[in-house]
Every structure is written in structure tokens, then in C-alpha cells.
Amino acid sequence: MKFKLLGALLIAAMGTGTMLAQDGGWRRGRDLGNDYADRRADLRDIQQDKATIAHDRWELNRDLRTGDYRAAAHERAELNEEYRDIHRDRVDVRRDTRDIRHDRRYRW
């Protein structure tokens, strides 16, 4: 009876290792390093977008001063696209921060 119980326990232990190996790891998707790097890249992108917005605002003011309303409309469209891009980046930063907090809380 002892050998049957020991054999069943040994088979279960070997099967568990195989299941974890086939799963790709139980920690997949829960890595702090990639979350931090992704958040830094998003924050860097936000800073670059802010610099682009400052330049586009300068061009918009120049076009309005010279009376080139077609170019001013084009600059407004570019500004709106940059504002949308900053919003998407901020949403991504919040998502990355949430992932970091989750990973820290559960010690992954």
C-alpha cells in the first residue's frame, strides 16, 4: 500500500512540473521590469509630444498673424492629433502603473 501511495505521489509531482513547463510559466505577463520600461517610454513620448505641440502652436500663431487661414486649419488638425496622442499615452501610463501596483502587491 505504501508503494502505491508513494508511486501516485511521485507521478503527481512529475506531472505538475510538466504542466508548468507547458504553460510557459505561471509568472508570464507579470514582470515589473517591462512595465517600468514601458511606462518610461510612454512618459518620454509624452514629453516629445508636448514639445511638438509647443512648436505647432507657434506655427499656428504665425499663420494666424500672416492671415494664412488654410495653413492655420492644418496646424489645428495637427494639434488635435497630438492632443489625442498624449491622451492615449496617459491612458497607457495609468494602465502600466496599475500593472506595477498589481505585480508589487502580489509579489510577482
Domain extent at residue 93: 31-105
Same domain, 94 and 44: yes
Closest among 73, 83, 74 to 53, alpha carbons compared: 83
Same domain, 44 and 78: yes
Q: Are 89 and 39 in contact (CB under 8 A)?
A: no
Same domain, 45 and 85: yes
Mean pLDDT, the chain, as a whole number? 84
Cβ contacts of 81 within 8 Å, gap of 6 or more: none
Q: How many domains does the chain have?
A: 2
Q: Model confidence at 4, in pLDDT bands (50, 70, 90)?
A: confident
Closest among 56, 28, 35, 33 to 99, alpha carbons compared: 35
Same domain, 22 and 63: no
Question: Which contacts qualify for 69-73: CB closer than 8 Å, 24 or more apart?
Answer: none
Same domain, 40 and 56: yes
Q: Give 70-96 pLDDT, tens digit per residue.
A: 999 999 999 999 999 999 999 999 999
What confidence score (pLDDT) does residue 82 get? 96
